[in-house]
Amino acid sequence: VQSVSQFILYIDPGTGSLLLQLLAGGLIASAVFFKKTWLSFLSIFRRKPSDSENEE
């Protein structure tokens, strides 16, 4: 399997930035799962805000 360090990178991604994604990837994926579930639960009761309302 090709490792990250073998890729030729355009910008220096930073070791910390790569590690953060690898270490916290599971946590972030779970957080997103719960947040999405929560948002779809809320959407039953709320009208969907339009894009223009989200702008400012």
Q: Compute CA distances 12 → 9, 21, 30, whole Å.
A: 7, 15, 28
Draw the binding track, 17-56, toward other proteins (x: CB under 8 A; -: no contact).
xxxxxxxxxxxxx-xxx-xx--x------------x-xxx
- CA 51 remoteness from chain centre: 20
Backbone φ, ψ for residue 50 (5° rounding) = -75, 165
Task: Name the residue nearer to other proteins (CB basis): 25 or 43.
Answer: 25
**How many residues sit in the footprint of other proteins (CB under 8 A)?**
36
The nearest distance, CB 43 to other proteins, in angstroms, is 13
